[in-house]
Every structure is written in C-alpha cells, then in structure tokens.
Chain A
Amino acid sequence: MSETKSVHDWAKDWQALSQQYWSAWGDLARQAGAAPRFDVATPWHEGLEQWARLFGGAGRQSEVVERLGASAKSFVSLMQSMLSTAAGNDGAAASVWTDVLRQGFNLPGIDASLLNNPLAASLRDLSGKGAHSLEQGMAELLRLAAPVKQEWLNLLGTPAFGYAREHQERWQRLSAALAGYQEQTNRYNALILKASERGFERFQSKLAEREEPGRQLDSVRAVYDLWVDAAEEAYAQVAMTDEFREVYGDLVNAQMKVRSLVQREVELATAQLGMPTRTEMRSVEKAVHELRRAAKSREDGMASVSAAELAELKTELAELRRQVGAAKKKPAAARSVPKQAVKTSKSKR
C-alpha cells in the first residue's frame, strides 16, 4: 500500500477504476454498434465476453480470438481478485495471496470439477481447432454412436441366449470398456488435481522468498507469471512420475479399447445397410499400398539396371578413348581400333 494513500483513498480509486473499466468497454461496444450492458458491480471478466462478441465469430482470426479470450478472462478475473485484496494489505502473508490467487481462478459458474484446479481448466481449454483432446474425442465418439448405444442399452436387459447371446456379450464387453475408461479418467483427473495443489504449494513457497525488501512483486502480471512457473514445475514433477506414466498409458489404452468396440458396432450396423465398412476400406488401402510398392520396386529395379548399364558403357567409352589416344601416338600404319571392344559394347546394349 502506498504510504500516501489511505484505505479509503484506495477504495475510491478502486471504484473509479471499475467505472473507467466499464466505461471503456461501453465505448468499445457502442463503436461496434452493440449495446453495452454493464455496471460497476459486474465481474470484470464479463467484459471479455463482450470483447469476443465484437468479432462476430466469423473473423479470419476467430480461433486466436477464442484462445486469447479464454486466457484473458482468467487473467482479468485474477486481476480483479488481486486488486480488490491489495487495498491496505501490503503486509499480507504468502498464504493470503495464494488463497486470493486460488479464488481468482474460480470463476462464477465454473464446473465443480475445475474448482481450485486451474491446471484441469487449462487442459480442458486446450481443445479447439487444431488441437483435439482425448476427452473431447471420446465425447464426440459417444455422441456419434448414440443410436447404437441406445440399441445396446435396450438389449442389455434381454436374456442371453440364442441369437441375442453374441450381441449381448459384445455389449457387455463395451459396457465394461466404458467403465474401465471412466475409472482411468478418474485416476488421471486425480493426478491433475494433485499437480494443481502442488502448484499452489510451490507458488506459496516461491512467494515467501519475495518477502525481503526489494524482492517484492509489484504487479498482478508478476504474480501471475510466478504462479505459471510454479504450476508448470509442479505439473512436470507429477507428469514425470512412474505413476503418471502408468495412468496416462492406461487412459489412452482404455479409450482406444472403447473406440475399437464402438467401431465394431458401427461396422455391424453399416454392413446391414450395405455400406462399405472400415475393415473393407482398410483392406483396399492395404492392397493399394502394396501395389504401389510393387510398382516402385520394379521401377527401382529397372533404374538400377539402367544405371549399371550406363556405368558399364561409360567405362567402355573411357577405354576406347584411351585406346584411340594410344593409337594416335603410334605410327599411322599401326593405327587400328580394337574390334573386340566395340563388339562387346554392342552386344551388351
């Protein structure tokens, strides 16, 4: 806290800042032909939603706008949380600031699984155009397989004999695979939560090192950057454990198992409609590949024969030149081109 400002002054500044903040967003919205809908009590990060809307979602840079918007939203929320705490709190301990930071990431309406877990939130935000997470892939797979899944659920309750027995066994395998995937997802999420918690611990410890005069952090950005350092270090430490390696592998394998079983169900359904299946397409792709390789192998063989023949001809030509040169040096009566060499050359063509 500045020595020249009282808590009361700071509160007035804070009110003025909020007013200025929203006035600026209002001006920007009006310039873009939108109606501003804010008051000073609105959480700051909502300004970012208005900002993203200014692009209309159709801009050439919409992906960057989306990624930038999500990150800036987190940062602005953190900024608001920290600045409102900064008033009169110069002496607050590292633990207080760690709590403020933690709360700053808990945006209103946040998914309960992401509370106090900014790492999980960041991993979820990673998905978008050009980056497709395992979690997102699974959600899409299950959405696309919804009709098959409904049939599977309906028939799971039917007696396991006769025609239905094989189907039911497949669906039971799929059901078990889905349960397995869920279990692995929970194990993975638990490790990510652990990494988030360790990130806050590490941050607090790094922050405590800054209590000496002259080493204090003097901006929200500096606090944020220190937290990123701490959180990445904690994540790397967890991610390099044998436990993480095992859980990561198990998660990927579990998802692939579900995918492969769903693919089989979809194949059975599409085959009944007379449509080409994935297996059939693979078979064709493989045949095409083998044909392509065989053709190239023949071309390579022909090219190497041609190259060998060319090399042989070059050698013969050199020999002929040598002999002609030698003959020129002899008396005219003795000049002759060795017939044998010419014959050999022709016979090899």
Chain B
Amino acid sequence: MGPVKIEPQRALDEALKFQQKLAAGVRTLRSLDEVHFGATPKEAVYREDKITLYHFKGSGKPRRRTPLLICYALVNTPYMVDLQEDRSLVRNLLALGEDVYLIDWGYPDASDRFLSLDDYINGYLRHCVDFLRERHDVDAINLLGICQGGAFSLCFTSIYPEKVKNLITMVTPVDFHTPDNMLSHWTRNMDIDLFVDTLGNVPADLMNWCYLTLKPLRLNQQKYIGLVDILDDKTEVENFLRMEKWIFDSPDQAGEAFREFIKDFYQGNKLVNGGLSIGGKDVDLKRVTQPVLNIFAEQDHLVPPAASRALEKVVGTKDYTQLAFKGGHIGIYVSGRAQREVPPAISDWLGKRSP
C-alpha cells in the first residue's frame, strides 16, 4: 500500500473547489475597501517629537485607580493590541475596569537616525510614565511591556523602580541566547556598526523580510494557500487583510537604537549576563522587586518560550507569576483563546496587587 491514496472523485472535488474559491475571490477582493485597524476610541493625551501617548475610552468608568501603560515594541505599530472590535486586548482590559494607555512610537525618519535607547527609555518612556503619575496623582503606575517593549519595561523598572507598581511582560525576550532563538543566531556574526553606518535607519521592509525568512514557506506560501479557503467569506478576508496590513505597515528603526539593541541584547545578552547600561544608568534586573507577571506564548517562533521563561531566574522580585499561553507570538493578542484568557489573567493578577 502506498502512502498517498487520492480517490478520483475527491481529487476532482478538490481541484474544482480550489478554483471556485479563487473565482469567488475576484468578487470578494474587488468589493473590499481599505481595511483599518484600531477599534477602540482613544484620545492623545501627551505628545513628544513623533511619539504619542493615547488614553483609551471604555464604555464605563475605569474601576482601577492605578493606570495601566502598554509599552509596545519599536518594530511594528502597536495596534496589534487593538486590531478590531472582536480581537482587542485593549477593549477587553477596559471592559474589566482597567484604565489603559498606550505609547505609539511613530515612524522615525532621517531626523531620528541618532535616537538611542537612552532617548527611548530614559526619555520618552520616562516622560510618559511621569505624565501618568502626575495625571493620576499616583507614585507609581502599572506597566505592561510587549516583546521588545517588554525588554524596555524591564530596563525602565530596574532604573526607576519607584515609578512602577506592578510589571507585566508579554512575549518578552530576556535570555537572547537560548538554543532555539533563530533570529538571535543570525545576528551573532553581523557587523552591526557597518550595518547601521551604511543603512542609517534600518528599513522596515528589510526587517519584515528577515522575519518572513524565519519560516519562508509557512509565512509566504502556505498562508496564502490557506487564504484561498476563505476567499468567499468577506468578513474572514477582511480579517486576513487587516492582519496583513499590520504585518507590512511597520516603522523604520532608528539607527542608533537598533545598533544598541542588537549589540547589547542580541549579541551581548546583557539582560542575563549583566553589564547593561542605558544612557549611563546601570540596568540590573535584581532591582526589579515589584510584582511581575510574565506571559509568554508556547508556539512563539520570534521569542522562544525559553527566552521569556529566563526572567524568573534573573529578576529580583519574590512575587513572580508566569503564564504560558497556548499559541504564537501574534495569536496571544488576536486569537479567540487570547480574548478569553489573557485580559482576565492580567486583570485578576492586578486586582490582587493594585487598588
């Protein structure tokens, strides 16, 4: 008996169904308008250079007095946390009574080429945190760092522990040298000085290409074959296009900050090995003694679970909670499971530690 047994009738059906879906796709794709992301009403409350601090508006008043600031990565736009009405971490957190703010880092251009991690962490992030402390008349806020923004949040909390009441990290790389970290593996022999001196700001298109090459067949071929299956469903196609728009609508990376991040985090692994300094201020995760909730995704190909789990061993807090989510780096915000599991986990955890 051979390993493939394709019944003639099934084969005919499969071929014709595929073609019918493609034909339906002509109608569907032609009928769609430009898709947009960002579903929850928000108000800009603080601006500095190209960054904007947004305050999200829920249907009711926040129940928690301490505001929650989301610090996203620089490498994508932050609207993955508020992609659409039924896929929104922000919306769900608001419904649970959190008072949610988000930093949009903007799109750096040539005038931002020399922005460093010092500017991002000791500058923009600190200013946003101070703004919220004053606005809410609190000594410390709750901080939620995502991916690279999680690494920023760890650095910030280590430098300014008095300004953070509770820290939540999501899909955050801590140990950049775990054996399954492909992205880190590839950067190890790169001459980052030559790279940044030559390119200046690092183009988003090059970054996107690099991410896609982590799984080239799955992300560039199989995904689109899968799209054929839903081409006759306008809503599903819109969802797909919204995600696609988010993936490819990315900011360029400010050259200096990129240089420092790759050298100190990816190559030097200094969050774990020590010796990290941001703008002359030492970062030591042992100084992070406030409660920490660390959420990671079990099928994350960008930030392997082991890279996140490492936080437990290096962080100073005695109140450490870890949550493993069954899904990937993106699914942790947008999947149905994520909507059900992640916001309640965050809100419950905060509820036990924050008024």
Contacts and interface: CB of A to CB of B under 8 A. Distances in A.
Given A59-B29, A76-B18, A289-B113, A97 B3 contact: yes
B189 A245 contact: yes
Contact of B14 (A134, A137, A221): A221
Contacts of B5: 1, 90, 216-218
B8 A130 contact: no
Contact of A79 (B15, B189, B244): B15
A210 B10 CA distance: 19
Nearest to A286: B114
A256 B195 contact: yes
A126 B14 contact: no
Interface in B1-51: 1-12, 14-16, 18-20, 22-23, 25-26, 29-30, 32-34, 49
A24 B14 contact: no
11 contacts: A9-B8, A13-B8, A72-B225, A90-B2, A126-B213, A132-B206, A211-B2, A240-B179, A282-B200, A285-B113, A286-B113
Interface string A66-94: 01101110111001001100100111111
A60 to B, nearest CB: 6
A5 B26 contact: no
Interface in A195-213: 207-213
Given A65-B29, A133-B209, A239-B182, A97 B220 contact: no
A211 to B, nearest CB: 5
A182 to B, nearest CB: 18
Contacts of B190: 248-249, 252-253
Given A292-B49, A296-B123, A126 B212 contact: yes
Contacts of B112: 289
B218 A252 contact: no
A323 interface: no
A77 B188 CA distance: 39
A246 B212 contact: no
Interface in B239-253: 240-241, 244, 247-250
B111 A130 contact: no
With a 10 A CB-CB cut-off, give which of A32, A210, A217, A219 has the most chain B CB atoms.
A219
A235 B4 CA distance: 24
CB-CB nearest 8 A-B residue pairs: A249-B189, A130-B248, A132-B205, A71-B224, A210-B3, A289-B114, A216-B5, A131-B209
Interface residues of B, number: 79
Contacts, number: 258
B221 A216 contact: no
A51 B189 contact: no
B162 interface: no
Interface residues of A, number: 105
Given A32-B26, A92-B2, A207-B3, A259 B225 contact: no
Given A126-B213, A218-B10, A236-B182, A285 B114 contact: yes
A109 to B, nearest CB: 19
B201 to A, nearest CB: 10
A208 B18 CA distance: 27
Contact of B194 (A79, A216, A256): A256
Nearest to B112: A289
B139 interface: no
A218 B189 contact: no
Contacts of A64: 29, 227, 240-241, 244
A97 B119 contact: no
B3 A217 contact: yes
Contact of A256 (B114, B123, B191, B221): B191
Contacts of A292: 49
A253 B191 CA distance: 6
Contacts of A212: 1
Nearest to A263: B198
